[in-house]
Amino acid sequence: MIPFITSAAQKVRVYQIAANMKVAGLENEFIANLVEMASEYEGAYNLMELWGTEENQNERNEIISDLQDEIEDLLTAPKKPTKKPYIKFDDLESIANDVVGFKQHLKTLVDNWGGINKLARESGIPQPSLSRFFNSATMPRRTTLYKIANAMGLSEKEIITDWAA
């Protein structure tokens, strides 16, 4: 594979889109991480470009959620290929149910505390990402749980789950 190297024009485009993201209300931490990622990963650059040219707000939100997922995933990536325990197909459904149950409980805590928009402001996690987080069965990342806990003042015990990735 050929390494991705941004041209001068692409770098300027990244900054233009980043500035537009700031105007759109996205948090500095998200934008800064994204600018860094887009300089190394062509896919991140292209997703930024898709956001920059997209007019539909729902679609823009999907792109932001994808980008936040990829940023969080990269920040917690191992330095070399790392094997996690195998998961059997027959266990997928029960694991997914456990994850959804945990997220529903956490969502109730969030709603009682002030809601997703407030959590987005306090945690720095974009609101579309939080909506996807609470509506999916994917295992939550510990880093995401810690951001949520710190924003809401929750204890470690309140965010413990068997299925944190």
Partner 1 sequence: MEVIITEWAKQSYLDLRQSQTFNRIDYKFTMRPDAELLKIYPHDPKFSLSKFWGPAIDSANKIIPHGFKMKWHNMGNGNVQIRLLVAILTTDVSGITEERAFLCQSYAKTGSNQDKREMEKLKIRMTRIVQGKYFYRGSL
Binding status of residue 5 toward partner 1 by CB under 8 A: no
Nearest to 12 by CA among 45, 43, 59, 50: 45
Give me the least distance between CB of 105 and partner 1, in Å please: 16
Q: Convert residues 111-130 into a mask of x (bound to partner 1 by CB under 8 A) and - (unbound).
A: --------------------
**Neighbour count for residue 22 (Cβ, 10 Å):** 13
138, 142, 150, 160: residue in contact with partner 1 (rule CB under 8 A): 138
Question: Is the Cβ–Cβ distance between 17 and 52 less than 8 Å?
Answer: yes
CA distance 122 to 151: 5
Give me the least distance between CB of 62 and partner 1, in Å please: 7
Give me the least distance between CB of 64 and partner 1, in Å please: 11
Question: Is the Cβ–Cβ distance between 47 and 64 less than 8 Å?
Answer: no
Q: Convert residues 36-65 into a mask of x (bound to partner 1 by CB under 8 A) and - (unbound).
A: ----xxxxx-xx-xx--------x--xx--
What does the block give as tokens for 13? 């485009």
Question: Which parts of this chain interact with partner 1 (CB under 8 A)?
Answer: 1, 4, 40-44, 46-47, 49-50, 59, 62-63, 66, 70, 73-74, 77-87, 89-90, 92-93, 95-97, 99-100, 136-139, 165
